[in-house]
Chains A and B, each alone.
Chain A
Amino acid sequence: MSKNYKTVNVKTPSIDGKGIMMGRPAYTEDLAPKDALVIKVLRSPHAFAKIESIDTQKASELPGVEIVLTHKDFKRNAYTRAGQGYPEPSPHDKFPLDNYVRYVGDEVAAVAAVDEETALEALDLIEVEYKKLTPVLDFEKAKENESIIHPEEDIYEMFPIGFDPKKNVAAAYSMEVGDVEKTLKESDVVVEDSFYTQAQAHVMLEPHTVNAQIDYQDRLVLYSATQTPFHVRRILSQTLEIPLSKIRVIKPRVGGGFGGKQALHGEMLAAAVTKRTGKPSKLTYTRKEVFESSCTRHPMRIDMKIGATKDGKITGIDCYGLSDTGAYGEHALTVFMVTGSKVLPLYNKVDSVRFHGDVVYTNTVSSGAYRGYGAIQGNYALESIVDMLAEKLNMDPMELRQKNMILENETSPIFEIMGEGTEGTAMNMDSCKLDYCVKRGMELIDYKNKYPRRKTDGAKVRSIGGAIAMQGSGIPYIDMGAAIIKLNDDGFYNLMVGATEIGQGSDTILAQIAAEQLGVDVSKVVVYSSDTDLTPFDPGAYASSTTYVSGNAVLKAAKEMRSMVVKEAARSLEVDIDDIEFDGTTFRVKNQEDTLSLSDLSNRLYYNEDQKQLVATGSYYGTKSPPPFMAGFVEVEVDLETGEYDILEYVSVVDCGTTINPELARGQVEGGIVQGLGMAVTEDVHYAKNGKLISSDMLNYKIPTNLTLKKLTTEFADSYEESGPYGAKSVGEIGIDTPPAAIANAVYNATGVRIKTLPVTPEKILKGLKEKEI
């Protein structure tokens, strides 16, 4: 749907790229006061233990130590680090510091000192007596284990989420459409299997970092590398009992988040140190702390059972999930629900579908939000089993998908049943070009000639694998984003948004949306984002909401501003509003010579006549969450003697509605694909027997490099979502979902080995090949 946009859907460089490349101070740590106290955290060496005693005297007496904090220094206000809207769908099961430690790396105490060396020395002087408890390290043995990870009585759920800590259950969910057992019993063909996904780490290059200070108005000011400044402010206020009005949270430039910075990490301790000492403080996680003590993707076991008629109509899907939330329940329920709600509707023509299971606590690193948010786990399981079903039906797997997948103007009952933590919202797929994405993707990968495999040199085989995916665009009726646009003298605008730029380019695309509506160049819209004092509310950068939710808010504000300036121009030119034609820079009176520039109007408004400040506000919450869709195809070359494989090309065809910024949208997709490939291929997680994470640095946890794959081909479907700003849907998460299943399917097509535990390593492939020989 080609519209004549001037700014939207037009190649536009990001508004901040130059300053960032030139290395100007922009990130949280760059902005810390030079005299800030350095905070270091004493972390648990045990997977599960009770702190019997803790003696901080020697540490406190060390010259240069300002304060030592332990659990005794905090009132027991249970909270969740999740960084979600309120009331949170995550259990309040965490204390700023606690007398229990629940994983290796859990917080025991914090020291603030004049420098890092002193702080580290003080940590060594803290004497802790632990009573070791039996840890639960295997999530399949967690439920109703005799070792109870959260025995404390003062933790709670905000509303029913299936929270049952005495059974080590953080959340539980169950839903069914039709009678799935009956449907599957009556199906001609049934395939079932279990799939395991690992605790992928975000590995954003900027570690978690925060600094705090008390300003001259005696308010607590935090600079934080966060995706959710407004939630951070609220959670600090509730937990530390500081009035909300006394806290300001500023989000500077953020060096990547991917969900990892939705949660609170150092904020609680930095706020506590500065509040108590009155002195500025900073806390930057070491890379080891990022791995060991922040959060990861929820590892899951997913049992999929799928049925079909002989001619390939999928009749029913039964999905049981067991999700491992680690020591704390951040995003326990919602990630789990997305595993069903943003995966199962892909095959909407089934007679019955069931999704159920538990999210359990274990004594491992806590799980949390991570791009893909449950969908990537579910997608791997579903899109693997669909290929397995196709084989059993003796049918091409893409043909099976085309026959059963969701199409434009269709719906799925799941949308109404499942939301994020609550009931969902019924919606039709007003824009869904999934059929085009599949068709075009097959052309681009040359499916006809390359599927399923071709022999190349010696022991090498090339093969193709594919998968389809969907995501959402914000959380309907829950997440509200807002924008303020201010006109300045000389006729340029400020756009203030709560929306949180974390490197994904939201400041740029929101400026484009405003500029398009206001008819000006992007350079005339100066963006300021994410400062709880100065910008309007926004939930933050998560749930694929910024373009759709915050973008709609910006559009509303821009429309309002446009009508305001037209009204003022009409007053100045002494004509009716309807007689004004406005191209963004010049007002013209219909059928007359009279003109007025926006610059002159602005100067008049601020200096000369009818003086006033023009400010427009827009806020928006979704009443649906239109999914972006995509088809992904990968070509691999497998060495049948070693199991090693090269990734030759990844083709993505995406329907995200209008791409507000085509290059940045491509960046979101390609970045997502490569992150998904990391999960599919190299990002292996290892724990020692005592529960200590081994893969806790970048030497041992391997993310993709620029040699991981040879070629990325990315295209967008021509699509227009009526409810989105200029037809846009989300694009932040959709890219990550397909690689695990596509890789597993391609490897199967090359080798006949089905890998059901991520990542798909050469060693597992070779083991499968050897087992086949026997």
Chain B
Amino acid sequence: MKTHIEFKQIGVIASKEFWDRIRNRWVLAVAVIFTVFALVIAYFGAAQQGAVGFRGMDVTIASLVSLVIYLVPLIALILGYDAIVGERERGSLELLLSMPITHFELLMGKFVGLAGALAFSTLAGFGLAGVLLSYQLGPAALYHYVGFMLSAILLGMAFLSIAVMVSVMASDRMRASGMAIGLWFFYVLVYDLLLLGILVLSQKRFNLSFFPVLLYLNPADIFRILNVFGFEEVRKLYGLATVLPATLASPWLLGSAMVMWIVAPLGIAVWRFK
């Protein structure tokens, strides 16, 4: 059965989700967190090397990459895990679906609204930090910084998409939150360790030419590579990311992979929700 899409309905849901986050100061709180952390890390990022203060943009971005990899997926998963299961558990989903709206439109509206709130707080938080940093580092450095912010938004959307998928699949909010935290642990903390472990244990017994491709299976790694590969100096700081051949490090390829990480979980969510 073919159903045409009414974008107005997506807009109504998206608008409610977005303004809900503005009203309850979620956007403000996240933006403040991003600004404060960004400035602190930019200033104290080199403390381990015995120095503090603002350095070049490449080193600053390298420090911020670690922050974003920890923080943005966590915030996105927290934001999206109860998008559908929360409505279902409260009992409001039934009333929503009795309206002239399709499952697809409702899900997309939720995603777009939440993604808007996340993107807005990311832009506001890191944007403000960027403006403050530009006084120290010069406006030219902002070019890379803008790229960093856009990739941080893409990373957030990828994890938001995963969270929405979890929200559709989980039977209750408790399970959804457990799954969301588990996924954060897996992608942010465990995945790279797992790859390194396999690399070390294999001792060149296997053909590991496919190994760099495995980095594409983690949006956090894609984000790291996107932001690290541009800077020769920074590449040396990272271990796993540097095993990637130059052919797989094309920003377009990486960007497309990130988009796939947004589209695929959302596609599964739409399929399951129907």
Decide whether A and B are members of one complex. no
A interface residues (Cβ-Cβ under 8 A, vs B): none
